[in-house]
Amino acid sequence: MIAGEMSKGRGAPVASGRGIREDRMSDKRGDGASKAIGAAAAFAAAFVARKVITVGWKRITGKEPPSDPQDPLVGTGEAVGYAIVMGVVMGAARVLAIRAATGRMRHAPAEPTD
């Protein structure tokens, strides 16, 4: 630990010689509702992304996307290309969907208590 710094745990302010700053590490624990909504958003995004990739692949290549990349009739370049496109688009869709869903939950007004 650097001299003059003192940490009080995750998310706590950190004192240093330059003043107090807020520790900006994200809290990944979350509650059950946010995890469930994030998982549902990721599932929906993956479903939509897969459909979009399939339609796009058909339009661009004129062929059906490879259903089994290990099939000897599928060229190596085609199999690798499809895997790269699928991985990038699915990963990006998942991240964007989860961030949008949890962002809306964070900024939603609190329910009034009786």
How do residues 48-79 score in pLDDT, each as one tens digit?
A: 999 999 999 999 999 999 988 788 888 989 98
In terms of C-beta density within 10 A (0-12 exposed, 13-18 middle, 19 or more buried), how is residue 89 classed? Answer: middle
**What is the rounded distance in angstroms from the CA atom of residue 17 to the CA atom of residue 57?**
57
Rounded to two decimals, the pTM is 0.60
Q: Which residues are bridge partners to 22 per DSSP? A: 13
Q: Of 73, 57, 56, which is closest to residue 65 (Cα–Cα)?
A: 57
How do residues 27-45 score in pLDDT, each as one tens digit?
A: 555 667 778 888 888 899 9
Find the angle CA(105)-CA(98)-CA(95) to the nearest 5 degrees: 150
Q: Where are the beta strands (DSSP E) in the chain?
A: 13-16, 19-22
